[in-house]
Amino acid sequence: MIARQRLKPRDLLIPTPLGLHCPLADVYIDPLRPVPRALVTHGHSDHARAGHGAVLATAETLDIMALRYGEGFTESRQAIAPGETVRIGEVAFRFVPAGHVLGSAQIVVEARGLRIVVSGDYKREPDPTCAPFEPVACDVFVTEATFGLPVFRHPPAAAEVAKLIDSVRLFPERSHIVGAYSLGKAQRVMALIRQAGYERPLYIHGAVEKITDYYLAQGIPLGEVRKVTATERKAMAGEIVICPPSAVQDLWSRRFPDPVTAFASGWMRVRARARQRGVELPLVISDHAGWDDLQATIREVGAGEIWITHGEADALAHWCGTVGLKGMALHLVGYGDEGEAEPAETPSGEDAP
């Protein structure tokens, strides 16, 4: 028998314009265009696209894709539970929670003793709406770097939500319009508001409804959530209304009584970002790891080689070099089109109301 040679990382996974490709199993991870076989880390539309031949993902991610694209989003699908392993040829794929949004997973890719972890998008802060990130020791760690600059140190989310609740107490005659990405952030903000002891109903924009209903159906407690109708807007003084970011500056928000515009995003750390959007109450709440957590995670998984898919890749790669790790920016084009990964999301990037 011929001694099986140890693989080089690029034999196991190779960055291509379509996304990360595993030639030994002929699958793509989070492919940017339709492919025969796709492994999907989570439901944000830049990672989860419609039109593949087959999709392997967590049950929640598959449900979210079906909700957003319709049941025909793929020809065939297979659900995989957290911790479960699926073998394709000689490669083992294991899905592990990533702590980003409901159903989000890292994908552990392993063959001939070489282990690469594709973390997708992730965060380390506790989130009442999804399972926490689990670090997995590996040879190569594939990470995002959406907030890969030392200016992005996210404060505790509870303190940010306290600002919102203080403002509601201070201005009972005004309505508070909170922009939050419709998948994940909106539901997390609602859960955080509940954790802070706020008991009044929370109001939502139509574009947030489908996913919120799904979270509720999965047993995530968000308290009483009501869709705000056009005629009710005038009566929203003193209430909190959650809407997609694009609606904050829309005509839609102007019908509310003297609205205070808030926005929940890691980008709110940078003042110019808040001002560019006309945000009066910035809430620094991120669903991506900040600078300190990126570093802590890289140290924790113990990989010698770090591949950086998107975001502020140059800065993180530089830091890797300063601590003796091999950091490589892959400059994958196409991620960061939905939600927080895109600093300035356009109205067309959101679900229609």
Partner 1 sequence: MNRFAWLLDRLSYEPRRNGKLALIADYLRSTPDPDRGYALAAMTGGLVFRNAKAGLVRSLVAERVDPVLFSLSYDYVGDLSETVALMWPARHGANAVPSLPEVVEGLREAGRTELPGLVAAWLDALDETGRWALLKLITGSLRIGVSARLAKTAAASLGGLPADEVEQVWHGLEPPYRSLFAWLEGHGPRPEADDPAPFRPVMLSHAIEDGDFERLEPSAFAAEWKWDGIRVQAVAGTHADGRRVVRLYTRTGEEIGHAFPDLTEAMTLDGALDGELLVMREGAVQSFNALQQRLNRKQVTARMLKEHPAHIRAYDILADGEEDLRALSYDERRRRLEQFLSRLGGERFDISPQIPFADWGALAAARADPAAAGAGADAEAVEGCMLKRRDGPYLPGRPKGWWYKWKRDARLVDCVLMYAQRGHGKRSSFYSDYTFGVWRVGEEGADELVPVGKAYFGFTDEELVEIDRFVRRNTVNRFGPVREVTHLAQEGLVFEVAFEGLQRSTRHKSGLAMRFPRISRIRWDKPPGEADRIEALEALLPAGA
Give me the residues that bind partner 1 (CB under 8 A), please: 149-153, 269-276, 278-282, 312, 314-315, 318-319, 322, 333, 343-344, 346
Q: What is the rounded distance in angstroms from the CA atom of residue 250 to the CA atom of residue 191?
A: 25
**Is the distance from CB of 29 to CB of 107 less than 8 angstroms?**
yes
- List the structure tokens of 338: 């939905």
Residue 168: CB minimum distance to partner 1, A? 17
224 half-sphere exposure, CB direction, 13 A CA radius: 7
Buried b (16+ CB within 10 A) or exposed e, 230-243: eeebeebeebbbbb
Residue 319: CB minimum distance to partner 1, A? 7
Return the sign of the alpha-carbon dihedral for residues 280, 285, 289, 292: positive
Nearest alpha-carbon partner for 226 in 245, 216, 234, 218:
216
Residue 314: CB minimum distance to partner 1, A? 6
Q: What is the rounded distance in angstroms from the CA atom of residue 140 to the CA atom of residue 62?
A: 27
235 Cβ contact list (under 8 Å, min separation 6):
none
> In which element (H, E) is residue 214 found?
helix 206-217
Residue 203: CB minimum distance to partner 1, A? 23
Residue 182: CB minimum distance to partner 1, A? 18
Query: Which CB atom, from 206 or from 343, has the smaller least distance to partner 1?
Result: 343
Query: Which CB atom, from 14 or from 344, has the smaller least distance to partner 1?
Result: 344
Query: Which CB atom, from 1 or from 272, has the smaller least distance to partner 1?
Result: 272
Residue 261: CB minimum distance to partner 1, A? 9
